[in-house]
Structure 1
């Protein structure tokens, strides 16, 4: 065990539940600090009162407690808690209790904590889409079933489970691994799975291969891990999230995709996997401007749209600009035989002319230097020969 359990919530509305959770954690042998982030009536018995937290706001205490309306106060308290938690040196784990307001205040502070530090948010919003609160961080969300509005026979059980879960995370040590292999982050989609499976088989004895699904959240997760210094290299074979970002698909990783490469200079070996497609949900979700395009039903809920030559030129320019900014080594490998399982002879998205436009755009926009190289290969991305070339670049740039 190391560090203190921080129990955070709005004591003006949830004091009874917060005291209950804190008591269970203390009974489990953990040091505990309770933190009040209420914006109405400050609690008298929290270890750290709302006024002390609010005083951490860049504009001072009044920016929170005299914010005017509730929305402004919640937003200000969110900023204050971020600064407060960043100042603490003893954080061993965090548990928060909240509805929409409390979750909005507490989750951002959790996201700023290191990956691996236990974080558990008991939230009435946890039964819905929690991506806005979790982001790409290891926050455990627990749905309380009842509202967090007083203790009862059901809430006591659920809150006890939450408290004991945090206690378990804090007191049970992660098994120590003697693994000294360099860690690689690889991006994969279903249509590039053969490529990644071959790579992990070839590299697995000398490298720890961490695979991320290129579905938007996966790309953000890959880059968050890289930004945290937990990877020695990125093997970013599936860059399809760029297509979704630029063309309005649902698997976008946002405008910051590839920026970690420029910020950190991490060795990057990648390709243009699955740039032949943009992802949408069921057909009735596809924007009207794309009606009449070539589509493929991946399943009942996912529809793929084939990218055009003009779109691919735009995508290549965007990716190249991002990679050109990297101070570290970059290897961009172009599979001239096709960029996905659907982009192969006889497959629905096979379009050599569109692919040629993609490769030509990379040739124009990617700036080659002593450390940045563009490598064109007459193979499909899932071919063994292409995989072997990728393996060679990995081993050259990131010695095992």
Structure 2
């Protein structure tokens, strides 16, 4: 059983943090109070702020020597991320605070594996929490009253939070004997037929986790890979890359494919739905794109066909990442179309744009014993292509 790490700024909120520590201990957990204050040290913490700050890559002075509060908070967040990763005995993390401490603690929480309990009691937890949570399993609890002194309300909220993390640390879920090897698969509406066939082909032997490629979907899949909760990835749909490069609403980050590079896990990939950039309702399409080839997918989603030049950029981004993968890699190109609407008679059928993509990946490919580039003369949603994905997956996985 791991310890409960309670994190906050003891120079301003020691009474509340100490109350949470006591409540967690009364619930039976071993609780550690970590001070991340950047102004004045407090003697009541179990881990002093300077000990955390020392984990910053540039040393404690990069954190505690700052006169600008925002700079100090950002630096302490970086230091806390390293600190928590290095502890080795973290069973759960509880944060308490306002906007500054919420940003600080949740940044460090995002660096922890999926499945490790993380709870943030925050004054901003009733609003848009996406920037704090991202693709992670961080639970946000609204503090109701400000975390500015103990009272009848704050004691109930903080006590509940402390008991919650204590329970999670003391009673981790037991793995099921029925668990099968987990495989992440990326899908979009226009690649659903391919993924549905893959599920039929592999579902009896593997547990398949399908991620909607809406930006956060790809990040969630890679977070699970980094957390050791996937054994392999079948990355059918890399549409988040064009949104990143061209400016759509479902973008990847620059770290797309990074988890595969870091973990070296078996990877089968393709170029599903890179024929499009995603926007909202048609009237929301930026003015510079309104003369482009657009397709209204539904009232809330408008698709824009990627050009040959954009496809060269997309291909260059993808192949550069593939060349850095040291695990077993099979990357498949569907030569007859990359989405349901990229086929003869469909609105995004554009052989020249597709060929710009394929040729860029071919030309940039660096041959290696672990990596194979495979061209399939079929459409991405055909049974032939799905079968090729499944066969290559079986070739590189136990």
Q: If the length of structure 1 is used for normalisation, what is the TM-score?
A: 0.89
Greater displacement, 256-265 / 290-299: 256-265
In structure 2, C-alpha distance between the alignment counterparts of 1:39 and 1:369, rounded to whole Å: 49
1:129-140 to 2 correspondences below 5 Å = 129-140=128-139
Q: Please give the alpha-carbon distance, in whole angstroms, between the structure 2 residues aligned to 1:236 and 1:227.
A: 15
Q: Is the contact made by 2:190 and 2:339 (CA closer than 8 Å) also made in structure 1?
A: yes
Shift of residue 393, structure 1, vs aligned partner: 1.1
Once the two structures are TM-superposed, the CA of residue 287 in structure 1 deviates from its matched residue by 2.9
Name the counterpart of 2:232: 233
The reply on whether 1:378 has 2:348 as its aligned counterpart is: no
1:344 aligns with 2:347: no
After superposition, residues 40-189 of structure 1 pair within 5 angstroms as: 40-57=39-56, 63-179=62-178, 181-189=180-188
2:114–2:223 CA contact under 8 A, matched in 1: no
Taking structure 1 as reference, are residues 364 and 16 closer, same or farther at Cα in structure 2, changes over 3 Å only?
same
* SS of structure 2 residue aligned to 1:170: helix
| Structure 1 position 55, deviation (Å) | 4.9
Q: 1:54 to 1:318 in 2, by over 3 A?
A: closer
- Tell me which residue corresponds to 1:304: 303
Aligned to 1:391: 390
- State the 1:104 CA deviation: 2.5
Cα distance in 2 between the residues matched to 1:142 and 1:389: 46
Sort the Cα spacing of 1:149 and 1:301 in 2 relative to 1 into closer, same or farther, 3 A. farther
1:159 is paired with a residue of what secondary structure? helix
Structure 1: any 5+ residue segments left out of the alignment? none
Deviates more, 1:293-302 or 1:359-368: 359-368
For 1:235-254, list aligned pairs within 5 A. 235-254=234-253
Aligned to 1:279: 278
CA distance in 2, matches of 1:55, 1:321: 35
- In the other structure, the counterpart of 1:39 is 38
Q: Name the stretch that deviates more: 365-374 or 237-246.
A: 365-374
Q: Which runs of 4+ in 1 moved over 6 A?
A: none
State TM-score, norm by structure 2: 0.90
Deviations 1:95-151 (A, max 9, x none): 001112112222232233333211111122323343433333322222223322233
Q: What is the DSSP-based 3-state SS (H/G/I as helix, E as strand, rest coil) of the residue aligned with 1:221?
A: helix
Q: Is the 8 A contact 1:10 1:36 kept in 2?
A: yes
CA drift at 1:59: 5.7
Structure 1 range deviating more: 20-29 or 72-81: 72-81
Instruction: State the alpha-carbon separation in 1 of the partners of residues 153 and 330 from structure 2.
Output: 56
| Per-residue Cα deviation, 1:198-222 (whole angstroms, up to 9, x for no partner) | 2122101112212222122222222
CA distance 1:303–1:396, shift in 2 (3 Å): same
How far the C-alpha of 1:174 sits from its partner, in A, is 0.8
Structure 1 residue 281 displacement after superposition: 2.6
Which residue in the other structure is 1:314 paired with? 313
Show the counterpart of 1:8.
7
Displacement, 1:293? 0.8
Pairing of 1:219-230 with structure 2 (within 5 A): 219-230=218-229
Q: Cα gap change, 1:40/1:227 in structure 2, threshold over 3 Å: closer, same or farther?
A: closer
| Structure 2 partner of 1:196 | 195
How far apart, CA to CA, are the structure 2 residues paired with 1:34 and 1:265? 36
Identify if the C-alpha distance between structure 1 residues 20 and 298 changes in structure 2 by more than 3 Å, giving closer, same or farther: farther
Q: 1:253–1:59: structure 2 CA closer, same or farther, 3 Å change rule?
A: closer
Q: Does the 8 Å contact 1:67/1:76 carry over to 2?
A: no
Deviation at 1:7, TM superposition (A): 1.2
For residue 386 of structure 1, report the CA deviation from its aligned partner. 1.6
The answer to whether the Cα contact below 8 Å between 1:126 and 1:142 also exists between their aligned partners in 2 is yes
Aligned length in residues = 398
- Segment of structure 1 superposing worse, 326-335 or 245-254: 326-335
**Greater mean deviation of Cα atoms: 183-192 or 92-101:** 183-192
